Chain A
């Protein structure tokens, strides 16, 4: 294989490869040391599901806000103390309210999130049912005159068919 063609193939392949390298979306770079893998996992789960209270839409692992950093440190401290995921979430909710959770709890204010889709499904079915019922009604409506006419047409058609058949013979 000549060198030039090798270059031709290698360069695009290299560029293509670059496209698959993703730059980390997490902007905060800090090093935390954990006693075991479980704790590390709990910490990462928590920093992803806790929302930075001051930011519009970022979790505390993504945000560079000083407050998010404080919350990361506090989360680390609590996890290190052996607190469970739920305990840490409760701790944060007690201080910053439910806003801090990306997974909202079922409360009177949020119940629409669960019931809303169901309501829409029911409305859809109701609409379909109404549509179907109306169609059936329309089908049924043939009064005596109309059905007589229909019979006549059908009868005429068969006789026409017969005629054409006979002519062919």
Chain B
């Protein structure tokens, strides 16, 4: 009896050691991009950006009010965006309102991309130097933000949207939003 107690007491440091090891090991492989966005629950930051097709046309954050929508960050230099584009076209076909933000890109290349691959975006913003991207805390492209009708960011998805993560993760959140 006394012996088992001794073994138990002596194994406490070992248990602590292994649990610390577990967390440190997990930390080695954790992806910092999986962290929740710092902007969840906040409204879309103020901005003024040009339309991708027409430099004369300018938009500000008021375009994010009135209905729930997706804000998709993309660029022509991003191969994953290419893979994602088809699915975005499909979503647009289902009547989902998507705003595109062309991130640190070239206008001519972007317009060619949208012409060749079809344009799924209701509005296309041109964020040449990544100003809005920085304010949104964008890590890279593609990223998709879920914005409710009041213009509040509810969720951020890092990486491409596809059939699987859309139906499993993103769509339920999108459906719950007002």
Contacts and interface: CB of A to CB of B under 8 A. Distances in A.
A55 B39 CA distance: 20
B13 to A, nearest CB: 9
Contacts of B159: none
Interface string B1-38: 00000000000000000000000000000001101111
Interface in A54-102: 54-56, 66-67, 70-71, 74, 93-97, 99
B38 A97 contact: yes
Nearest to B38: A97
B79 interface: no
Given A54-B140, A67-B140, A70-B130, A95 B135 contact: yes
A54 B32 CA distance: 6
Chain B binding surface SS class? loop
Given A93-B38, A94-B38, A67 B135 contact: no
Contacts of A54: 32-33, 139-140
A9 to B, nearest CB: 47
Given A54-B33, A70-B134, A95 B140 contact: no
Contact of B134 (A74, A97, A99): A74
B136 interface: yes
Contacts of A55: 32
Interface string B41-85: 000000000000000000000000000000000000000000000
Interface string B134-153: 11110110000000000000
A97 B140 contact: no
Contacts, number: 36
Contacts of A71: 134
Contacts of A67: 139-140
A96 to B, nearest CB: 5
B177 to A, nearest CB: 22
Nearest to A120: B16
Given A53-B139, A54-B140, A67-B139, A95 B134 contact: yes
A8 to B, nearest CB: 48
Interface string A96-125: 110100000000000000000000000000
A67 B138 CA distance: 9
A17 B137 CA distance: 46
Interface of B: 32-33, 35-39, 104, 130, 133-137, 139-140
27 contacts: A53-B32, A53-B33, A53-B139, A54-B32, A54-B140, A55-B32, A56-B32, A66-B104, A67-B139, A67-B140, A70-B130, A71-B134, A74-B134, A93-B38, A95-B38, A95-B39, A95-B135, A95-B136, A95-B137, A96-B38, A96-B137, A97-B35, A97-B36, A97-B37, A97-B137, A99-B32, A99-B35
Given A53-B33, A95-B38, 5 more contacts: A67-B140, A71-B134, A94-B38, A95-B39, A95-B134
Q: Which 4 A/B pairs are nearest by Cβ-Cβ distance?
A: A97-B38, A95-B137, A54-B139, A96-B137
